[in-house]
Structure 1
Amino acid sequence: MKLVIINYVLIATFNHVLFVFKVPATICDRIDSLLSRFWWKSNKDSRGLSMVSSSLLHLPKGLGGLGIRHIHSFNLALLAKQVWRLRFNPQLLASRVLKAKYPALLSSKPLISSPRPSWGCRGLLEGGRALSQGLAWKIGSGTQVSILQDYWVPNIKVEFKDCIPVEDRPLMVSDLLLHDTGIWNLSLIRQLFPVSVASVILGLERPKQHIDDFVYWKYNRDGAFLTKSAYAALVSQHISFRSVTTDSSWWKRFWGLPILPKWKMLAWKVLHNAFPTADVLALRGIPIDATCIFCHGSSEYVVHLFRECPFTSRLWNSLASTSSPLPEVPFLFSDWFTSIITSYASSKHWLALDRFFGMCWAIWITRNNVRFRSVVFSPQCILDLALEWSVRSGKAREMAACCPGIPPGFSSYPTWQVLRGEASVLWECDVLMCFDGAWDRGNYSAGAAWCFLDPVSSRCIGGGARVCMASSALHSELLACLFGLKHARQQGIVSLCLLTDCLSVPKMIQFATSDISLIWTIQEIRDVISSFSSCHIRKVSRSSIGEAHSLAGAARRRILLCFSF
């Protein structure tokens, strides 16, 4: 609840200021400090005791943090959004006024020449600088893009071979294209660049017609600016992720578990040693007896409290006798804790997971009641409390299951889509066409293959395969679809049903919203589909496209270069 209040209530109250002005760093740090204190406070009279570094609170939840907004980074992200809006909507009055007064403010390299700019313009300047870090060029004609100075090849730094003299190095990307066809000059690129760079360049798609270069937001798949992605990129510059020990994929799965939110906070505090146990409080100078209140024989710290205490061990043994046995105890406590969660979650044994967290929660509640309220306890009381909380978690999960994940009136994405023609019976077509792509991440080489099948007997009646270069595995799938459609059009086929094992392909073709790196390939596919009288596409299993899969693999390995039958 506190996370919701901080991110969606407290910070939202001054979002407008963050969106318009660059807030000084001292004020941002002060706000961060107040929000951190609010998080650790237990009541209104308490000042709170910070148990971990504030950077861990600002760390994204998928990396083991809590995702509390870092004000300085959030301020820059909102200003970058403002600059994006002004730059790509030049018809706005604000854009025209700012461009007239500060000509370079909204450029790719923002600059203010006025000696005394306003506070608002200085904020836009900072937002423009933040925005420029996430802009990339989509190569059309290549005349506007510098080979070395601009970012145009995803996730790689473009460098020439050391043996290429400076005077022989081209300046613009247009110099790397064949002027008559507009495709990449294969021999020139392999001559100028190292193999790793040349392979990535050759894997970039090329438009079918002449198109000017344009910029896009490289941190979002469709190229549109998102404050969320901008904030993630900016916060990574202020917070080190090297301190994260648990795998980020584990945290992403953990936050999605169907358990009580307070149990997730308990696990987060356990794994980050953020519990105010007696030994931690004593180290902070708080006068408290650090002896464990259960066994009275050792200091109270997280590992002892939840696992090594003899009293706690008997509780776990009682729990193991009534549910699935706990995983074997490794040396590290964090490994023991995460292995239990992973084991139960992977097998979807939610009842055992509820009992495990219910026991941890009951131990902690009883510890607090005994230490601060002098409550009398017994092992059976703790077991009953753990059972009560596990039942409560199960009921909460049942209520969540009753609520549909998809809003009323909507349905999940179907596996069969009509791309052209009427929504008739699936098999009422001249030919079935299965297609598949194979991609090598190391050298960006790919193979594309397609097979024409008889709709009645499913017998292969034709097809083809060819070698190509692709930027991703999905790109190779789309190229296979494109080559197969062109082959079908040459064969005079007018009604076609496409079969693919990739669910992303029907979505991308149907709605034409996709990865910015594939927009021209998808548009060409849609143009070819328009030449058929009817065209359907269906998601099928890998075994249903076995012939195309084998041919694509052979093409990727250069066993087949260009083959049709």
Structure 2
Amino acid sequence: MRFRDLRVFNDALLGRKAWRLVHKEESLLIKVMKEKYYPNCSFLDAALGYKGSYSWQSVWSEKSLVKEGVIWRIGTGSTVNIWNDAWLVDEQGRFVTSSESSSFSHVSELINFDSMEWNTELISKHFNERDQKCILSIPLSLKAPKDTLTKAFSNNGLYSTKTTYMLGKGCNFDDFHQVWMYIWSLEVSPKELWEDSGCLSLIDANLMNDPCEFLASWKKRNVKLQQCAIFLAWCIWGERNHKVFNDKTTLNHVLLARANRLIEEYGLYSKKVHVVFGEKRPRSSKSWKPPPEGVIKINADASLAEEG
């Protein structure tokens, strides 16, 4: 599972419980906990308090971990602070970069609720070009739903034990996201690895957003090429973990040689395991038959061994 630090892994699991306190407010258990421990605020703003149970203290201790790597999905904007909360999305991060203004504090103050559109005049006056672009790209619904807290670096916006574990190990996801985009913009590893191995032809940028179509396109390619791509992807993933957790890197030609060696070893292994047996021998004409009527037949068997 690659969870090497059990203490951080346990914190990530507790964080899932804390995440439920934020999103499952209709649950009877969470209603009871809210009434007892944080009746006048949300869980993320709750204080530890006195005489809390061991369970409450454990879950509360993971609040800071849960708050990392989150982003608000804007509904009405009434609960989202413009200057302190994460609610923008681009390669520069999740927070507003403009100078703070005392004229307004919540996102709802930037919305024209009559038409449910952004107040472009106010936004252009107080925010820089980057922030304007990010704010105006956020869609607003006429249904005016509640603001929702989501995970910024997951495909579905839900809590992930894996990403929380990485945060617990000290990974800065904003920096990680920027570095990842920078790496893939360069004409170097891991793109060079795909090119040197001959597997670059398998990467179709037009299909990257549809995993099913992307993998289905591989069926039309050479089997050896598919096998090479799979082992190469596995080596790159292992190298990525080696860099994140141990801060060590491996040269491209070494990784490529490792992938080729794995392909060769797997081929030898397959030959030994998936043996093609010869033709089956014809069944003997001698077979057991029931005795004729009125005759008793006794079947016996014996075994000889050198010991005993």
TM range (shorter): 0.5 to 0.7
Higher RCO by CA contacts (8 Å cutoff, separation 6 or greater) = 2
Q: Which residue, 160, 165, 172 being the options, matches 2:98? A: 160
Q: Is the 8 A contact 1:135 1:216 kept in 2?
A: yes
After the TM superposition, which residues 48-447 of structure 1 pair with which residues of structure 2 at under 5 Å, given as runs?
Answer: 67-103=2-38, 107-114=43-50, 116-154=51-89, 155-161=93-99, 166-167=101-102, 169-237=103-171, 247=189, 258=230, 334-340=251-257, 353-354=260-261, 389=265, 391-393=267-269, 395=271
- 1:80 deviates by 1.1
**Aligned partners of 2:166 and 2:191: how far apart in 1?**
17
Tell me if the contact between 2:69 and 2:152 (Cα under 8 Å) persists in the aligned partners: yes
2-side partners of 1:231 and 1:179: how far apart? 40
Aligned mates of 1:98, 1:201 — CA distance in 2: 35
Deviation of 1:390 after TM superposition, in Å, equals 6.2
TM-score, normalised by the number of residues in structure 1: 0.33
Distance 2:190 2:60 in 1: 34
8 Å CA contact retained: 1:81, 1:227 = yes
Partners of 1:156 and 1:197 within 8 A in 2: no
Counterpart code for 2:46 = P
Retained in 1: the 8 A contact 2:65–2:167?
Answer: no
Offset from partner CA, 1:13-70 (integer Å, 9 cap, x none)? xxxxxxxxxxxxxxxxxxxxxxxxxxxxxxxxxxxxxxxxxxxxxxxxxxxxxx3432
Distance 1:250 1:222, change over 3 A: farther
Percent identity between matched residues is: 21
**Contact 1:219–1:230 (CA<8 Å) still a contact in 2?**
no
- CA deviations over 1:305-329 (Å, ceiling 9, x no partner): xxxxxxxxxxxxxxxxxxxxxxxxx
Question: Residues 210-243 of structure 1: CA distance to partner in whole angstroms, max 9, x if unpaired?
Answer: 22322222232222222223223333449x989x
In structure 2, do the counterparts of structure 1 residues 99 and 87 end up closer, same or farther at CA, with 3 Å as the change threshold? same
- What amino acid does structure 2 have at the position aligned with 1:137? W
Amino acid at match of 1:173: V
* Amino acid in structure 2 at the alignment position of 1:71: L
TM-score (norm 2): 0.57
Q: Kindly indicate which of the two structures has a greater share of residues assigned to strand.
A: 1
Shift of 1:393: 4.4
Instruction: State the shift of 1:91 in Å.
Output: 4.0
- CA shift for structure 1 position 81: 0.5
Query: 1:258, 1:229 → 2: CA distance?
Result: 24
Amino acid of the structure 2 residue aligned with 1:179: F
Distance between the aligned counterparts of 2:44 and 2:95, measured in 1?
Answer: 19
SS in 2 for 1:136: strand
SS for the counterpart of 2:167 is helix
SS state at 2:10 partner: helix
Inter-partner Cα distance in structure 2 for 1:202 and 1:196: 10
Contact 1:80 1:124 in 2 (8 A): yes
Q: Assess, with a 3 A threshold, how the Cα gap between structure 1 residues 258 and 91 changes in structure 2: closer, same or farther.
A: closer
Q: Distance in 2 between matches of 1:174 and 1:79?
A: 32
Structure 1 position 134, deviation (Å): 3.4
Deviation at 1:123, TM superposition (A): 0.7
Rounded to whole Å, the distance in 1 between the matches of 2:110 and 2:273 is 58
- Kindly provide the amino acid, as one letter, of the partner of residue 211 in structure 1: P
Unmatched 5+ residue regions in structure 1? 1-6, 8-66, 273-332, 346-352, 359-388, 400-565
> How many correspondences in the alignment?
220
User: Residues 96 and 248 of structure 1: is their aligned pair in 2 closer, same or farther, counting only changes over 3 Å?
Assistant: farther
8 Å Cα contact 2:15/2:59 also seen in 1: yes
Gaps of 5+ in 2: 200-226, 244-249, 276-308
Letter of the 2:23 partner, please give it: F
> What whole-Å deviation, never above 9, does each CA across 1:72-116 have from its counterpart, x for those lacking one?
3211211111122233223434323322221169612232121x4
Q: Would the aligned equivalents of 2:71 and 2:94 in 1 still touch at CA under 8 Å?
A: no
Q: Distance in 2 between matches of 1:340 and 1:178?
A: 60
- Amino acid in the other structure paired with 2:59: L
Tell me the CA shift for residue 258 of structure 1: 4.8
Cα deviation code 1:190-224 (max 9, x no counterpart): 21111111111111112133223222222322222
Task: Measure the CA separation in 1 of the matches of 2:162 and 2:9.
Answer: 9
